[in-house]
Structure 1
Amino acid sequence: MIHAQARKRDVVLKLGAATGAASVRVVQMDSAFPFGTCINTTVIQNPAFVDFFTNHMDWAVFENELKWYHTEAQQGQLNYRDADALLDFCDRLGKRARGHCIFWSADGAVQQWVKNLDRDQLRSAVQSRIQGLVSRYAGRFPHYDVNNEMLHGRFFRDRLGDEDVPAFMFKEVARLDPDAALFVNDYNVECANDPNATPDKYAEQVAWLQSCGAVVRGIGLQGHVSNPVGEVVCGALDRLAATGVPIWFTELDVCEPDVGLRAQDLEVVLREAYAHPAVEGVVFWGIMQGKMWRKDAWLVDADGTVNEAGQTLLNLQKEWKTDARGSVDGDGNFKFRGFHGRYVVEVTTPTGKQMLKTFTVEKGDNTPLLVDLADA
């Protein structure tokens, strides 16, 4: 399988000959390939949603609460209460959150007071937005979508008359929060049905930003798909991977009224994403019936029942984790091949003595990872 090459590594646990014929059990606690979902202030009050999110998701992204039209609907009247509440929710559960989004290029996503500004006022407002948001949350969002959907919208470039304004946005955000990975984010790139959003145009956009001095550390594929598009997805990933920039599915939902077909379609997309070494994570744009932007895409029914599509996700998460057991060999080693992630090993000697140790299997070259447990 392709994913075994992209996501696995040979591991040698060195226990020493003194352990004799000790038995070994290796269990993967979490995966280096994260899954997440969007959240909002309503859905986090739903116990069934919180249960699924807590047990099966690693990341969150806020549906609307960080967008400029939400945090400053009226000029000068800042409202970060909702974003603060969602970020506190993530912190309590130990989940990371994507910062979506600082700006949104689509004309229809820009609030009226911003549209009413003249060029100089708009430039000042853009600077204030970056300064206010990024300074407030510096270090708390590992990712930012800096200027959402630039393949489909040109509001800031057209109003400011400056083709370099997106690069300015990237550079200013990086100045205020240098540890955050800054993303482009757009839709239809993976579907081959939108001439404005071809993989080539997206790759050219990344190269253009880089040529202007912006450091792009993530390519976001929204992934609002409605049919199984495996080969098309793979082709888009191959083209974007040539940029050398990591790829995330940032807003995935697979829309299909028949839940059985939805499960099949979802599996196609997830296997393509997981199999591609350039993809580093998948974030769903909702998971629960009645709580999503797109209908016929939910994984969890309104009463909390995990449906067939949701079970497909859980089955894949289980498939993509390692559980190995056996005995120490004559050289005092235990060898296995495991998915990247965090592990715990339990060693039981013939006399019944037990030892527990945690370690991490990270992406590496073709050489095995050596973990010395002899002195543990």
Structure 2
Amino acid sequence: MSGPLMGGFPLNGNFTAPLRNMSRAYIHFQGPVPGIDFLIDDTTLVEVDEDVNWKAEADARIQKIRKNIIHVNVTRSSSFNPADIEIKIDLKRHLFGFGSMVKEAWMTNDDYKGYQNFVYKMFNWVTAASFKWKYNRGTRDKPDYKYATDGVKVLKQHGMKVRGHNMFWGVPGHSPSWVEALNGTMLKATIEKRLKYMTGITKGQLNHWDVNNELLHGQLYEEKIGDPHYSEKIYDMVHKADPFPTLFLNDYDVVAVGGVTDAYVQQAKAFKNANVGLGGMGLQSHFKPYTRPDPTLLKTRLDKLATVGLPLWITELDLVHHDDTVRADWYDMALRTYFSHPAVDGIIFWGFWDHDMSSPLSSLVSGYNYFLNAAGQRYLDLIKKEWSTHVARKLSEGSSFTVNGFHGDYDIVVNYKGKPIMYQEFHLGKQMQRLTCSSVAMDVTLPTTVDPFVHITHPVQVSHNNEHVIGHMSSGAHNTDIQCATRWSGFSQVGDDKMSYAFCQGDEVMTGCSSYHKNGEWYRDGDQFLMHNGRMSCKAVNGFRSTSGLQAVARCCKTKNLKCTYRGSGPSAKSVDARVETTCLHNEVATGCSAWTWDSEMFGAFPSLNNKGCVASNEGTTVGSQPEWCTAVNGQDKVAGEERRIGCATCCSLEAQGGPIIG
């Protein structure tokens, strides 16, 4: 029996008009294949009133759904003055996903260290987008995804979680031409062969997989194979081959634009009901150029998408405006709306650097010095300040207290007279966390200098590896009075690993080396004693995100019989709190100390309390006196293997009247 099918249904959609002068607008509806006709009974275009209180409402939801209570109870001995004990609680990594698409090849290339630093410091998730079928660098029979897999390996070593994008893309033009030319039988066999290969090289490594991308906008595989449910079978095969990653649909015009929101809901429900391993919905979020995000419409679309009952991820966020201040405001609107929705578990930017985006006017970071523009600074302020938790409480305010903190991984540090004596890590999820700090409950008198690296979770590693002599200098002066001068270099170039050198003159001997930024910023890799062009030099190394030149500063002295040996050691072990020590000989005194790192965050180097040694410290806390050595310390807030330190000491002696120089 054939004939017309009777029935009706509403077809809804919404859109945001761009901020441009318009005289005419066309609305396009995408329907089924030709031959299926629709009779439209009525159409209505209605203006949706904007919720003027959207920001206050979003902030209230954020406080409710993204935070939980930390209960802290501290026990102490009566020999401790409560006013001397401080408890610091700091969020180190969000539970919510904040991430970006990255170029995996750049994550393993030393030429892109600034790029890598930004990724590791600003995000906890990344999308590895080089798994696409057309990105195969090998042959049909011997695929090569080494850039992607090597990049994922390094990212995982740095504690990042990774989305794989994408295994298949059934929109015409997005598979290799030879694949699209296959008949149905061969195409099916080829798809299943690729599926087996891709799950084999990524098994257990990816946290998410975009399995078949933009399935609403192309069903090439279904059409050629003749099976309308073939993509569901692909998901089922991937899930069985590697149950570890969460499998995602991923499509556009579903949240930033509302063209196919309803269709996406229906598709996701069908996949969910088919029980093929679908675990999440990827919502691409490419806003049309010069279109301001509309929080009212965004929330309306998110509410509709959430009815599927699967986690929602914003997978490809970008928007365009030439004014980075306006761009900052617009990103704020989108980020705040997404972060405030209970069904959204993560937000991924579709790139962050203006040298690697579809439009540089979408970027958070600009130029080869990786300058954080206004949009990037707004993002930083949101995730590191407004949506982060950092609390310091004196014990004199009470031994028990509560903190309403954002979900994520935390450090808690107990300071005694400004010196850390206990460190612990904990995780705050959707259940409240109770902490008891009892390591200060001891009837002992603490020394004047407290070693801050007494961690509960990580042993201190001290090494004397690769101790060596860098060079020697002797003063040819005949006077017995010590005369010293400070020698400044010129300014280095701006940017990571840009260097400047300072030298002593005439009979002077270099007794110290330091570095200084023109505008006082701290983005530097440190300083180092080094033979340069046959002369002992003080080398200063500029760092990631620097915006000014760096000067090397050499302290140069001369007097009769002054001799200095420049000693170095390292690098330190690849673990949290690892130290490397450089030792002076028994008749020498450490007059100068320097340290440099592959990471640009540390406080610098300084002499110990008794002038017998030197100390170099990472960002965070300082180290007490250390006799007769220069110490470089890995940071307590860094994951294992993230960075290493190299320490150097100037060890000098003055043979005058039969005795050595006294420090």
- When the two structures are superposed, what TM-score results if normalisation uses the length of structure 2? 0.53
Sort the Cα spacing of 1:327 and 1:252 in 2 relative to 1 into closer, same or farther, 3 A: same
Query: 1:254: which partner in 2?
Result: 319
Distance 1:353 1:126 in 2: 57
Distance 2:322 2:149 in 1: 35
In the TM superposition, residue 309 of structure 1 has moved relative to its aligned partner by: 0.5
**1:286-329 deviations in Å (ceiling 9; x for gaps):** 11112112341011111311100111110101221101122448
How much identity, in percent, do the aligned residues show?
27
Query: 1:47: which partner in 2?
Result: 113
Q: Which aligned pairs between 1:318-333 and structure 2 lie closer than 5 A?
A: 318=384, 319-328=386-395, 332-333=399-400
- Structure 1 residue 356 corresponds to structure 2 residue 423: yes
| Number of corresponding residues | 369
Query: 1:14: which partner in 2?
Result: 73
Q: SS at the partner of 1:117?
A: coil
- Structure 1 residue 89 corresponds to structure 2 residue 151: no
190, 200, 218: which one aligns with 2:280? 218
In the TM superposition, residue 12 of structure 1 has moved relative to its aligned partner by: 0.5
Distance 1:301 1:350 in 2: 42
Distance 2:123 2:311 in 1: 20
Q: SS at the partner of 1:113?
A: helix
> Which of the two has higher C-alpha Rg?
2
- Structure 1 residue 370 corresponds to structure 2 residue 370: no
Q: Which aligned pairs between 1:106-255 and structure 2 lie closer than 5 A?
A: 106-194=171-259, 197-198=260-261, 200-226=262-288, 227-255=292-320
In the TM superposition, residue 166 of structure 1 has moved relative to its aligned partner by: 1.4
Sort the Cα spacing of 1:244 and 1:213 in 2 relative to 1 into closer, same or farther, 3 A: same
- Structure 1 residue 33 corresponds to structure 2 residue 96: yes
Q: SS at the partner of 1:52?
A: helix
Aligned-residue CA RMSD in angstroms?
Answer: 2.3
- Cα pair 2:409 2:425 within 8 Å, conserved: yes
Please say which of residues 341-350 and 221-230 is displaced more in the overlay. 341-350
**1:111-156 deviations in Å (ceiling 9; x for gaps):** 1111111111111111111111002210001100011001111111
In the TM superposition, residue 355 of structure 1 has moved relative to its aligned partner by: 2.3
Q: SS at the partner of 2:365?
A: coil
Q: SS at the partner of 1:109?
A: coil
Structure 2: which 5+ runs fail to align? 1-59, 440-455, 457-663
- Cα pair 2:101 2:349 within 8 Å, conserved: yes
Q: SS at the partner of 2:206?
A: coil
Please say which of residues 352-361 and 170-179 is displaced more in the overlay. 352-361
Structure 1: which 5+ runs fail to align? none
Sort the Cα spacing of 1:18 and 1:237 in 2 relative to 1 into closer, same or farther, 3 A: farther
323, 336, 349: which one aligns with 2:403? 336
In the TM superposition, residue 349 of structure 1 has moved relative to its aligned partner by: 5.9
User: Structure 2: which amino acid aligns with 1:23?
Assistant: E
Q: SS at the partner of 1:102?
A: strand
The structure where strand makes up a greater share of residues is 2
**1:223-263 deviations in Å (ceiling 9; x for gaps):** 11132222221112111222221111111112112211111
Q: SS at the partner of 1:292?
A: coil
Query: 2:363: which partner in 1?
Result: 298
Distance 2:73 2:117 in 1: 38
Query: 1:315: which partner in 2?
Result: 381
- Cα pair 1:253 1:297 within 8 Å, conserved: yes
Q: Whose relative contact order is higher, 1 or 2, with alpha carbons under 8 Å and at least 6 apart? A: 1
In the TM superposition, residue 18 of structure 1 has moved relative to its aligned partner by: 5.2
Distance 1:15 1:221 in 2: 45
- Cα pair 2:74 2:438 within 8 Å, conserved: yes
Please say which of residues 202-211 and 78-87 is displaced more in the overlay. 78-87
Q: SS at the partner of 1:49?
A: helix
Sort the Cα spacing of 1:72 and 1:104 in 2 relative to 1 into closer, same or farther, 3 A: farther
In the TM superposition, residue 42 of structure 1 has moved relative to its aligned partner by: 5.7
- Cα pair 1:16 1:333 within 8 Å, conserved: no
Sort the Cα spacing of 1:267 and 1:350 in 2 relative to 1 into closer, same or farther, 3 A: closer
Q: SS at the partner of 2:372?
A: coil
Distance 2:182 2:236 in 1: 23
Q: SS at the partner of 1:242?
A: helix
Sort the Cα spacing of 1:50 and 1:352 in 2 relative to 1 into closer, same or farther, 3 A: closer
In the TM superposition, residue 336 of structure 1 has moved relative to its aligned partner by: 1.0
- Structure 1 residue 100 corresponds to structure 2 residue 165: yes
- Cα pair 1:286 1:292 within 8 Å, conserved: yes
Query: 1:60: which partner in 2?
Result: 126
Distance 1:363 1:18 in 2: 33
In the TM superposition, residue 109 of structure 1 has moved relative to its aligned partner by: 0.6
Q: SS at the partner of 1:129?
A: helix
User: Structure 2: which amino acid aligns with 1:165?
Assistant: Y
- When the two structures are superposed, what TM-score results if normalisation uses the length of structure 1? 0.91
Distance 1:101 1:53 in 2: 21
Please say which of residues 95-104 and 327-336 is displaced more in the overlay. 327-336
User: Structure 1: which amino acid aligns with 2:271?
Assistant: L
